[in-house]
Amino acid sequence: PALSHTRQPALAISPEDGAVLSPAFHPRWQLGGSRWSAEWRGTLAGYLGLPLRTFARAVLAATLRAGLTWGPSAPSYAIGGTSSEPWEIVPGWSLGRRRSFPLRGYPPNGQRFTRATIGIVELRVPLWLVGRSWLELPLGLDRVSLSLFAEAGGGWQEGAAADPVAYRDLGGEAVVDLITGFDLGVRVRAGLAVPLADWLGAAAGDVRGSLVLGTE
């Protein structure tokens, strides 16, 4: 469930002037056994439209997300990588991957945590409105925008010292929204991110590129 109050005008590149709160609690019990687990997860996102505009307003967006699990069969969280809403091309085959705790400056890795947090501040700037298909095909270029972001996150195990901003990065992405003949918006994001702290697979100051396709 989510509590949401935002605006999104027709040409907007992002929700504007509002917030979304998404709390969740998931208890689980093993059928025919004694093992159990519980999970609490929450996301708070806020959006502020700015006076800077071309075909739409620029937006300052902020997201806070936290999760914790406990119990004998508690699941765990991964931190790192780039997230997008999957686009199912055909049943069973999708492009893009949704990640609960993405950090674009750090690659996906095998380390898991029972506590995790992430915070993202992002400036989204509309650049170019095209709205044209290619060669009569059901595919074309709709909008182009730029995103500049700063991220921080952390993960730890139950009982260990918490460090919710252990891993940090800065970066930017070019965002291209495509027109499709399936009444579904498809988004391509190409970006660069620089980690500010050493961690699995990344050293501070390295540049990490990404190319992601999904529906957001």
52/59 Cα distance (integer angstroms):
9
**DSSP 8-state secondary structure symbol assigned to residue 163:** -
* Structure confidence at residue 65 as a pLDDT band (50, 70, 90): very high
Cβ contacts of 121 within 8 Å, gap of 6 or more:
60, 61, 62, 149, 150, 151
* Mean pLDDT confidence for 79-98: 79
Q: What are the residues facing 133 on neighbouring strands?
A: 140
Among 25, 13, 21, residue whose Cα is nearest residue 123 = 13
* Structure confidence at residue 188 as a pLDDT band (50, 70, 90): very high
**DSSP 8-state secondary structure symbol assigned to residue 14:** S
Cβ contacts of 58 within 8 Å, gap of 6 or more:
49, 50, 52, 123, 124, 125, 126
- 């050493």: which residue's tokens? 198
pLDDT in tens, 119-148: 999 999 999 998 777 766 667 888 999 999
Among 104, 116, 195, 180, residue whose Cα is nearest residue 142 = 180
pLDDT (0 to 100) of residue 136: 66
